[in-house]
Structures are given as structure tokens and as C-alpha cells.
Amino acid sequence: MAELQNLTLEPDEDYRIIIADDHQMFRDGLKNMIHSKSKMNVVAEASDGKELLSILEKINCDIILLDLSMPNLNGIEALEIIKNKYPKIKILILTMYHENTYFKHAIEKGADGFMLKTEMFTSLISAIRQITSGDIYFKNLTDKKEIPPVLQEKLKPLKIEIENEIEEAISNNEFIIFYQPVFSMNDGKISSLEALVRWQKPNGEILSPDYFLAAAEKSGQIRKIGKFVLINAVKQLKQWRDIGYTNISVSVNFSAIQFECGQIIDDVKEVLEESGIPPDKLRVEVTESLAMKDVALAKNIFLKLRDLGVTILMDDFGIGHSSLKYIQEFPVHGLKIDKSFIDSIENNNVNKLLTQSIITMAKHLKLKTVVEGVENQKQLETLRELNCEEVQGFYFSKPLTDKETIIRLAEE
């Protein structure tokens, strides 16, 4: 699976595009963006699946930007028909829903790419270039929104399949952990290593959480996976400490599903006691949107974790619809500002102002600020200007295996 790359402008990219989406404002926005940022041409627009099919009878195109939820014929249904009839047309699915089973379903039906509408305005053109060059595109899909019931029915058989596979993977020890460094802006050194789970298939293929996390959360299997990550990440930190790296911490992502039975607190207590690491060197990351699903429960668990001395960060902050006011009510130590704010920070003043106000507010509330997804020097410079405390992203390092992590630490 190809990562999105910084593809350079192709001279011959005068692709013909059809936009199918039921919101006219949305179609207008897309069209303006495509025409202002590329040589590609929007040749037609459709407001539902049926209209799209009748347009295709008359007009040729190279690419369809296809909304998943449309009246008459939805995106998945239209996709199947179009791919059978016009196999050469590339199809990029656009959706509001963070749901990986959709992605799998859409790809199985022949889609070439799958993109969240929230990311479109920063990544659409590169995604089109990527799919026209024969790769498939998907990015940053995690389960952050509920799936509409109509599609849930359709996806059922698929989910059961994934759940069975996950169960087997758990018993075969196929889950492994990568570590992505987080750097302090003060001295440029690694302050923490974030544990990111991967599924290594017996054939060596490594799957990112995008493939299995949503299914594992729905089935509850995330509890087992989460416990595995917690135990092993803390063990790993202990080993790093034993060879002299005593200033770094390890960050572990918790799913709110793990909060539902109080077990998580006992698990954390146990790993802290067994490893003897200072509790504040364990950072727990919980996404804002998951915390917001059950605010009372999240607050309760955060309080207990805080009593144990653990450091708590609100992950993917800024996209979970909590008002800033809420944050002071959550007993957290810091905010990890979502990548979507950073993506276009160099040339988008609104995003820059938003990031600035989050950082200012966080400082006022004595919260640590971490920015994730930093991909270039300009973004870094802007973040330095905004006095952000810690940064993480491909610009500094991709997630590393345990062996690569040791090498990276030794290089400091």
C-alpha cells in the first residue's frame, strides 16, 4: 500500500473529472479548488447516483469523485455498476465517516481511493495524482464516527470475517509494536516514544491500525490488543531505562472501549508495579472524540489514572467537537493537536489562528502542547513561532521497529 507521497506536478494531467455529491455547495467548492490548483477539468456534476449513471452514457471521464451517501443510488451501489461497465474510470470515494470497514468494502468493489471530506481540501489533488498513476489511496481512517445503519447491514458479513481474523491473530501473536518519536522543541531531543500497534501477517505483510482498529473496537477485541500494547510498551521502556535512557517516556493509545470495564485501571497499576517505572513516564493518549462519547466515564477514568501518577494526553484534539470550555473540566495534562490543523498551516491563516488559539488556551490552563503529523520544515517553523512544546511527524521520523528505535536513540 503506497503512502501518500509528495508527487510533483505532471505536465499531462488534464484529466476529466465528474463530481457526484448531493450537496451543491460542496460540489462548487470542489470544482473551484480543482480548477484553481490544477489543470484537471470538471466536465460534469451529478447530485445522485442515478443522475451520475445517465451522465456517463453521454460524457467520457477519467475520474469520478464519488460521495458515499447520496439519494437514489448510494456511492457503493453506483461504484459497483460503474466499475463493471467502465473499468478504466478511476473512482475516489469521498465520505464524512471515519470507518475502515467502508474502506475495505469500497476497495473490494473496485474503488481506487477513499478519502475523508475533512481532508479533501488539503490532499485531493495529490490523491488524484496517486490513483491515476495506478496506486490506491487511503489515509488516516480511524473509527471516529458512527456508521449509518443502512450501510451497517451491508457490512455485517465483512465485519464477522475481520473479527475472526483478529481473534486468530491475537492467539498467533501477530500483533507487534512500532514506536514513533516525539521531540521536545526546547532541545530537539526525543521526549517520548509513541507505541503504535501493527498487525504482522504470517506472510510478512504489515497492516496499520486503519485496517483492524474499528472492527476490534466494535467487537471489544481492542481490550486484548490494548492490554498487549500496554504491557509490552512499558516493558520496552524499562529496557530503554536500564541502558540509560531515563528521561524518555512511552505513550500508549487507549481506546475508550477499554474504559468501559474498570479493568484498565488495574492493568495500569499492575504494569507500573511490575516494571517499577516512574508513573509519569507512562503517557496515555485518548482521542478527544472517544472521550466525548461518554464524558462522565472518561472523566472518571482520567481521574483514577491521574491519581496513579500517569500523564494523560487528549489525542487528535480539535476535531472532536468539544468546546474549548470542556477541556478545563477534563483532568488531562496535555493536548495533542490533530494533524488536520497542521496540514496547511503554512498557507492557511485560519488553521494557523486556530492552532495558535489552542496553544494559547492550553498554556493558560497549564497543559502541555504536542503537535502531530509535522511533515515539513515550514510547518515546524510556524509551530516554533507559536511556541508549541513538542512535535511529532514524518518530517522527524516515521514509526520505527524496536531495533530501529534503539539506533535512533543512540544517535542523539
Binding at 226: pick from ligand C2E, Mg ion, none (beta carbon under 5-8 Å per type): ligand C2E
Q: Does 390 bind ligand C2E (CB under 6 A)?
A: no
**Shortest CB 279 distance to ligand C2E, Å:** 19
Among candidate residues 409, 142, 116, 412, the one with its CA nearest the CA of residue 257: 142
Binding at 394: pick from Mg ion, ligand C2E, none (beta carbon under 5-8 Å per type): ligand C2E
Q: Does 196 bind ligand C2E (CB under 6 A)?
A: yes
Q: Does 316 bind Mg ion (CB under 5 A)?
A: yes
Binding at 399: pick from ligand C2E, Mg ion, none (beta carbon under 5-8 Å per type): ligand C2E
Q: Does 229 bind ligand C2E (CB under 6 A)?
A: yes
CA distances from 301 to 196, 220, 249, 332, 352 (A): 22, 18, 21, 11, 32
Sole window of 23-31, 90-98, 279-287, 301-309 interacting with Mg ion (rule: CB under 5 A): 279-287
Helix 149-171 and helix 222-242: axis angle, to 10°?
50
Q: Does 47 bind ligand C2E (CB under 6 A)?
A: no
The rounded distance, in Å, linking the Cα atoms of 340 and 344 is: 8
- Residue 59 phi/psi, 5° resolution? -120, 135
Among candidate residues 289, 224, 222, 283, the one with its CA nearest the CA of residue 257: 222
**Shortest CB 372 distance to ligand C2E, Å:** 6
Q: Which of 399, 400, 405, 409 binds ligand C2E (CB under 6 A)?
A: 399
Strands (E), 288-358: 311-317, 334-337
Q: Which residues contact 375 (CB under 8 A, 6 or more apart)?
A: 342, 343, 393, 394, 395
**Shortest CB 290 distance to ligand C2E, Å:** 9
C-alpha cell at 40: 484537471
CA distances from 326 to 114, 288, 295, 299, 341 (A): 32, 11, 9, 11, 19
Helix (H) or strand (E) run with residue 117 in it? helix 117-132
Q: Which is nearer to ligand C2E, 49 or 209 (CB)?
A: 209
Q: Does 394 bind ligand C2E (CB under 6 A)?
A: yes
> How many residues line the site for ligand C2E (CB under 6 A)?
27
The rounded distance, in Å, linking the Cα atoms of 382 and 386 is: 6
**Shortest CB 317 distance to Mg ion, Å:** 8
Q: Does 142 bind ligand C2E (CB under 6 A)?
A: yes
Residues making contact with ligand C2E (CB under 6 A): 142, 180, 195-197, 208-210, 213, 222, 226, 229, 253-255, 285, 287, 315-316, 372-375, 392-394, 399
Residues making contact with Mg ion (CB under 5 A): 253, 285, 315-316, 372
